Structure 1
Amino acid sequence: MAALVEGQARPIRLADIAKAAGVSHGTASNVFSRPEIVRAEVRERVKAVAEAMGYAGPDPKGRLLRAGKVNAIGVCTTEPLSYFFDDPFARVMMAGISQACDATGAGIALVSAQNDEKLAWNIQSALVDGFILFCIEGGPRLVELTRERRLPFVALAIGFDDDTISMIGIDNIAGARLAARHLGELGHRRFAVLSLPFVDGSTGLVTPGRLGTALYTATRDRLAGYFEELARFGIDTTRVPVYETENEAATTRAGLEAIFANGEPPTAILAMSDRMAMVAIDWLTERGLNVPGDVSVVGFDGVPDGLLSRPQLTTIAQPITEIGRRAARMILDFDGAVRREMLGVELVIRASTGPAKA
C-alpha cells in the first residue's frame, strides 16, 4: 500500500514512516502486523504519521508471499461467474467448500472466464494456495492452465481420463443403472435421454456412431449405465433418442422439442442432471402432459431444488456437499500426493416417477 508524497518521486515505504515517527523499522512494522505488542501512545503516533503521509500499511501480498502461503483456495470454471450462483449443483458444492474453509479460516477466490485469454490471466494472477477445478466443461484447458501455476489442484466432475490428477468423483455408471432400473421396474419401455455435453460446443440429437465417443467421462459413463440396464429389460437401445444439451434451459427445451416430434413419444426421460430434469418437468407441464401420469422423469445430482419441483423430482443423489468439503481439505492439507476418491450415490424416489401407462 505504497503512497507518494509531494516532492518525492518514489512511493512511501514503511522505513519512511518509522523515520518520521522516530521509531525503529521493527516497531513500525509491529504497529500494522502485531499492534497488541506496541504501547498505545507509540501505536497512535505511528498511525498518525502514516495517515498524514497517506500510507495505508504494508502491502499484504508481500507478507503473504514471504510466508509462502496465502490461506486461500481458488475455485475455477470455464463458465461465467454467474455459474457459481445460478447452477444448483455449483451452489451446493460451494457450500461444502465453504464449510471446510470456515473451519480453518481460509478464504475462497472464484476464478472464472469464458474467454480463454482472460481465464489464463485469472488463473496465473490468483493469490491462492491451490485450485479446485469444476471440470464439467473445458476440463483439459483448466488442467493445462492450472498445471502451469505449479500449485496443488483437485478436479471435480472431471471430464476425461488422467490418473496423474487428484480427483473426487462418483460412480456414474452405478448411478445411471439405478435410474434406468427404477423406470424399467415401473414398466417403462419407451425412453429418451437428455445428455450432458459429449464435447464442448456441441448440441443436438446424437447419431448412433457418436454414442460411445463422448470426451467427458461423466457423459460416457452415465449413458453406458443407462443402456446396460435398459438392455436387461429387452429394450433396443439403438432406438432410444439421446439429445446432447449444454445443461441449461434453452438446449434442454430444444432437445425435448426434437424428441417429442419424432415417432412414438417416450414415457420416461433419463436426464443427466437435475437441472435438465426440472426443465423437462416444466416443459411437459406447459404442454398439458402429466408428470408422472404421461411421462416419468429421473434427474441426476440430488440438488435441494428437486424438492421444490412440482412434482418433486426423483433423482440419483450424489454427496455434493461432502465432495466439496473433501476437495477443500485436499488443498488445505496438501502433502504432495495424488489422491483419487470415488464416492457412492443413491436413488431418491419422489413423485416425478410412476408406473407406465398400460
Structure 2
Amino acid sequence: MEKNVRLVDIARAAGVSQGTASNVFNRPHLVRAEVRERVEAAAQAMGYRGPDPRGKMLRAGRVNAIGVATSEPLPYFFADPFACALMTGIAEACDAHGAGLALVSAMNDERLAWNIQSALVDGFILLCIDEGERLVALTRERQLPFVALHLGQDDETMSAIGIDNAAGAKLAARHLTELGHRRFAILSLPFSDERYGIMLPGELRSAVYTTSRDRALGYLAALAEAGIEARRVPIYETQNEPESIRAGLEVLFDGPEPPTALLAMSDRIALEALAWLRRRGIAVPGAVSVIGFDGVPAGETSDPPLTTIAQPIAEIGRRAVDMILDHDGAPERETLAVTLARRGSTGPPPAW
C-alpha cells in the first residue's frame, strides 16, 4: 500500500494541510507536538514512511555524494593496498565535506549504463580508464563532473589528477644504478588483460595500459643513461597478483646470472617478491635489492622495510573529491610529485 500513498493522502487523513504534513517530515520543529503525533499516526497506519529523499535531492540539484567507478572487480578496493590507501583519502575528503560515497562497478558491461545512469551522485571519480572509453562516454552523458585518476589520456577536456609515472620509474632505476647495480630485471604490472610472461622491449609501445608502459619506458631510459641496454633487462609481465608474481620470480632467478636489482612496478609486487626471496633464503639487500612503486603503508613494516617510489596516494583521492564538489565547469589537470622513500630493501650489489 505504501507505494500508492501520497503526502496529500496523509494530510487528508490527519485533517491538516499538505504543507503541515510536509513540515512534519522535513521541518518537524515547526509543527506542534500534538499535530505532529496525529500526522505520524496517520502515516504509520497507512504504511507511509515519508517523502522519497531522491526527489528532494534532485530538486535541490545536489545529492552530496561522490561515485567511484572502476573497471576492476569491486573487491579490488578492499584487497589491493594501493586502492585501500586511495579510498582512505577519498573517504577522508568526503567526511570533511559531509558527503557520502558510492562504489560503482563497470565490470558487467551489460549493466554499466544502468549503474552509471542510476547512481545518485554529484560526480564520479574514474579508476582504470585505459580501456574505459565507454565508461567515460556514459559518465559524460550524465553531464556531471568527473575526474580520472590517471594522466595518461591526451584528452584535455577531461579533468585528471595523477603522477608522472615515467619520472618516478627513472628515479627508481637511478637509485639502483648509483648503488652500483648492473644486472636488472623488471616485474611489471599488466600491459594488457589476462596474460603474463616475458615482455619484449619492442612490444611496450603497443601496451594497452599506459601506466605500465610509462613505468617500463622510464626504467629503461634511466638504465640506458647508465650504459645498460634494454635487451639485457628482462621484463616479466604479471597480473599484480601472487600466482603470476611468483611465476615471474621463478623465471628471473632460475638462470646462471640472476638479477642483483629488481624493479617492481607496484608495492604489492615488491612485497610478494620480498616474501618469495625470504622463503628461498635469498638475502635482501645482500644478494638482491628490491624497489617498489606506490608508497603503501605496508612497505614501512615489511621485512626488510621496502624502498619505494612514494606517490601521495591519499592526497590524490582527497584532491579528486575537491575537484568534483568545488567544480566550476572548467577541466582541471594536476600532476603531483613522487619521492624516493629509501629504506632497507636496497643496497650495493654483492661483491661476486
TM band (smaller chain): over 0.9
Matches within 5 A, 1:188-207: 188-207=181-200
Contact 1:78 1:137 in 2 (8 A): no
Shift of 1:262: 4.1
Residue type of the partner of 2:237? E
Shift of 1:266: 0.6
Q: Is it true that 1:78 corresponds to 2:50 in the alignment?
A: no
Among 2, 15, 18, the alignment partner of 2:11 is 18
Contact 2:126 2:146 in 1 (8 A): yes
Aligned to 1:109: 102
Aligned to 1:3: 2
Among 240, 250, 254, the alignment partner of 2:233 is 240
Partner Cα separation in structure 2 for residue 259 and residue 123 of structure 1? 43
Task: Deviation per CA, 1:151-181: give whole Å up to 9, x if none.
Answer: 1100003554322211001121221111101
Matches within 5 A, 1:86-97: 86-97=79-90
Shift of 1:145: 2.8
From the superposition, tell whether residues 160 and 16 of structure 1 become closer, same or farther in structure 2 (CA, over 3 Å).
same
Partner Cα separation in structure 1 for residue 159 and residue 193 of structure 2? 22
Partner Cα separation in structure 2 for residue 233 and residue 157 of structure 1? 29
Residue type of the partner of 1:240? V
Q: Is it true that 1:185 corresponds to 2:178 in the alignment?
A: yes
Residue type of the partner of 2:276? W
Instruction: Report the TM-score, using the length of structure 1 for normalisation.
Output: 0.94
From the superposition, tell whether residues 137 and 288 of structure 1 become closer, same or farther in structure 2 (CA, over 3 Å).
farther
From the superposition, tell whether residues 141 and 284 of structure 1 become closer, same or farther in structure 2 (CA, over 3 Å).
farther
Shift of 1:260: 2.1
Give 3-state SS (helix, strand or coil) of 2:239's partner: coil
From the superposition, tell whether residues 208 and 224 of structure 1 become closer, same or farther in structure 2 (CA, over 3 Å).
closer
Aligned to 1:302: 295
Contact 2:186 2:264 in 1 (8 A): yes
Stretch of structure 1 that moved more, 25-34 or 203-212: 203-212
Partner Cα separation in structure 2 for residue 263 and residue 64 of structure 1? 66
Contact 1:136 1:158 in 2 (8 A): no
Matches within 5 A, 1:100-249: 100-135=93-128, 138-249=131-242
Partner Cα separation in structure 2 for residue 112 and residue 279 of structure 1? 27
Over the matched positions of the two proteins, sequence identity in percent amounts to 68
Aligned to 2:343: 350
Stretch of structure 1 that moved more, 75-84 or 140-149: 140-149
From the superposition, tell whether residues 3 and 118 of structure 1 become closer, same or farther in structure 2 (CA, over 3 Å).
same
Contact 1:313 1:350 in 2 (8 A): yes
Shift of 1:332: 0.4
Task: Deviation per CA, 1:103-136: give whole Å up to 9, x if none.
Answer: 1211000112422223332222111111001126
Contact 1:139 1:158 in 2 (8 A): no
Task: Deviation per CA, 1:253-302: give whole Å up to 9, x if none.
Answer: 22212222345211111111111110111111111111111111100010
Among 28, 32, 37, the alignment partner of 2:21 is 28
Contact 1:158 1:216 in 2 (8 A): no
Contact 2:106 2:135 in 1 (8 A): no
Aligned residues: 351
Partner Cα separation in structure 2 for residue 190 and residue 211 of structure 1? 20
Give 3-state SS (helix, strand or coil) of 1:211's partner: helix
Partner Cα separation in structure 2 for residue 274 and residue 137 of structure 1? 21
Residue type of the partner of 2:193? D
Give 3-state SS (helix, strand or coil) of 2:2's partner: coil
Contact 1:96 1:322 in 2 (8 A): yes
Partner Cα separation in structure 2 for residue 87 and residue 161 of structure 1? 27
Give 3-state SS (helix, strand or coil) of 2:49's partner: coil
